[in-house]
Amino acid sequence: MEKITIDYTATAVNTGGRKGHIKTDDGQLDFDVAMPKEIGGQGGKTNPEQLFAAGYAACFGGALGAVAKGVKLDDAEITVKAHLGKTEAGGFGLAVDIHCKIPQAGSLEEAQKLVEAAHEVCPYSKATRGNIEVNVKAID
């Protein structure tokens, strides 16, 4: 396990699990959560998978910026799909697809190289590596 020197700590508190409430210690996030209708919940509120996808997308965008070296990312888009499903061993698990549109990369091949480089340095990618399936792909 790679040790880190801590520069920042985000703190969130949940009550009620998937049918509850989330609040961060600084008050920036303060909302109810609900299970998606697709898995038997009421829907109509955000859920852990959406929060994970949003965090991963923002983090991956930052990693892309760190490796882009001269490629403008003004119009780049990072789409993260966080999938929840049953595992072969039983229980639930996650899988992630990351699609990156980088119009100013020059070519799809160059964009794919950037996406793979970002995947190597992104903290979310490091945290999930070897634990869940994560597919990264540059798209037009």
pTM of the full structure: 0.94
Q: What is the mean pLDDT of residues 125-135?
A: 96
Q: What beta strand segments (E) does the chain contain?
A: 12-15, 21-24, 30-32, 77-86, 92-101, 133-139
Write the pLDDT tens digit of every residue in 78-118. 999 999 999 999 999 999 999 999 999 999 999 999 999 99
Q: CA-CA distance, 38 to 13, in Å (whole number)?
A: 25
The letter for the amino acid at 63 is A
Q: Going from the N-terminus, what domains does the chain have, and what CATH number goes with each? A: 1-46 (2.20.25.10), 47-139 (3.30.300.20)
Mean pLDDT for all residues in the chain: 96
